[in-house]
């Protein structure tokens, strides 16, 4: 059997001219900062979030990226638009899994209802910053080292296997007392026994002490790091444009605060969500490995963006239906 012909390795997915011109980057970052400022103003006054408020903001944060995608389609064509919508769907799916872990941590710390959205805001800020860093690093690595596609692909496949194993053994397990970040803080700083409003630290007897709210924030930031390692390679499996990678991550994260309160009771009903996340990550990881192999051996097939979208939608629809049927039974 003759070996496959060797081709020059492509450094990054070719998406044509980048959507992210300097002007578009500036406008996008300004808009995201404005939305974060709005969220900060909302969370500054501690209050329990009603379902009506949560639904209203969730609709806004879903409509915003969908409308933005229409501009992408009209300005840059169907191929780039398809990459954007597929990337957004992947990131939104992963962010929901991220949100489920947030729920477990907040529940484990018994955070009062009126303080939950405040600490969620901190978790979302941390996720945005960490993913921006990983996006910049990922773009540089993929540009200069084509074999990083193989590394990213194997990381995603490995993560998919881990999620599958966790799901089969009862889902995510969170023991806050065993989290290294929390344990380290408790050794360095004294921690109050109860929450002190929205404060992350207080001064008592001349010494600065952390409140349990600060421990929750640190725990959320630790999980942000883990999910950033997974989510950024996942969307790079859909598009190589760093701007699209960033904006899909940003849109997926911005609405998490409101979505948390909408899904707080219903997310636990999606008992098969972990299987879906495992399948999506393994699929995108395989796509990245095939893309790397195609750059080395031209006979190796690649997975198209439209096929990726169909597979991801099919997986999400399947686990939703099977979860609901399982609950009925």
Q: What is the pLDDT of residues 277-316, one digit of tens each?
A: 888 888 888 988 888 888 788 788 888 878 888 888 898 8
The helix (H) or strand (E) run that includes residue 41 is helix 22-44
Kindly state the average pLDDT of the residues 175-199: 70
| pLDDT tens by residue, 79-112 | 999 999 999 998 888 887 778 778 878 877 888 8
Residues recorded for the chain: 329
**Rounded Cα–Cα distance for residues 290 and 24 (Å):** 32
CA–CA gap between residue 95 and residue 155 (Å, rounded):
18
Helix and strand counts by DSSP (H, E) for the chain: 11, 2
CB-count exposure of residue 67 (10 Å: 0-12, 13-18, 19+): exposed
pLDDT score recorded for residue 142: 76
What percent of the chain is predicted at pLDDT more than 90? 16
Query: Rounded to the nearest 5 degrees, what angle is found at the Cα of 128, between the Cα atoms of 125 and 130?
Result: 105
Domain regions of the chain by residue span? 22-152+171-265
Percentage of the residues of the chain whose pLDDT score is greater than 70 = 88
What is the spatial distance between Cα 90 and Cα 239, in angstroms, rounded to a whole number?
11
Residue-level pLDDT at 250 = 92
Phi/psi zone of residue 118: left (φ > 0), alpha (ψ -120 to 50 degrees), beta?
alpha
CB distance 215 to 101 below 8 Å: no
Q: Among residues 139, 219, 125, which one has the least CA distance to residue 180? A: 219
pLDDT of residue 8: 35
């Amino acid at each position: 059997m003759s070996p496959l012909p060797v081709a020059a390795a492509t450094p990054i997915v070719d998406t044509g001219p980048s959507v992210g011109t300097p002007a578009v980057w500036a406008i996008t970052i300004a808009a995201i900062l404005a939305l974060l400022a709005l969220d900060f103003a909302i969370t500054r006054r501690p209050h329990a979030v009603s379902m009506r408020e949560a639904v209203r903001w969730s609709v806004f944060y879903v409509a915003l990226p969908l409308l933005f995608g229409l501009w992408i389609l009209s300005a840059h064509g169907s191929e780039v638009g398809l990459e954007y919508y597929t990337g957004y769907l992947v990131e939104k799916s992963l962010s929901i899994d991220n949100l489920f872990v947030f729920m477990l941590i907040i529940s484990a710390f018994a955070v009062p209802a009126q303080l939950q959205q405040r600490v969620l805001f901190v978790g979302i800020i941390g996720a945005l910053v960490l993913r921006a860093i990983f996006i910049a690093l990922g773009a540089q690595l993929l540009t200069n080292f084509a074999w990083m596609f193989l590394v990213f692909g194997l990381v995603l496949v490995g993560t998919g296997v881990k999620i599958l194993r966790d799901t089969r053994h009862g889902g995510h397990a969170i023991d806050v007392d065993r989290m290294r970040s929390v344990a380290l803080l408790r050794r360095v700083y004294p921690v109050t026994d109860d929450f002190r409003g929205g404060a992350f630290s207080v001064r008592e007897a001349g010494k600065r002490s952390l409140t349990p709210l600060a421990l929750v924030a640190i725990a959320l930031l630790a999980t942000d790091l883990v999910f950033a390692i997974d989510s950024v390679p996942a969307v790079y499996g859909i598009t190589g444009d760093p701007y699209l990678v960033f904006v899909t991550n940003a849109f997926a994260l911005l609405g998490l605060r409101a979505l948390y309160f909408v899904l707080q009771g219903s997310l636990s009903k999606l008992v098969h969500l972990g299987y879906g996340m495992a399948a999506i990550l393994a699929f995108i990881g395989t796509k990245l490995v095939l893309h790397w192999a195609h750059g080395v051996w031209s006979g190796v097939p690649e997975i198209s963006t439209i096929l990726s979208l169909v597979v991801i939608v099919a997986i999400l629809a399947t686990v939703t239906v099977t979860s609901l049927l399982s609950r009925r039974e």
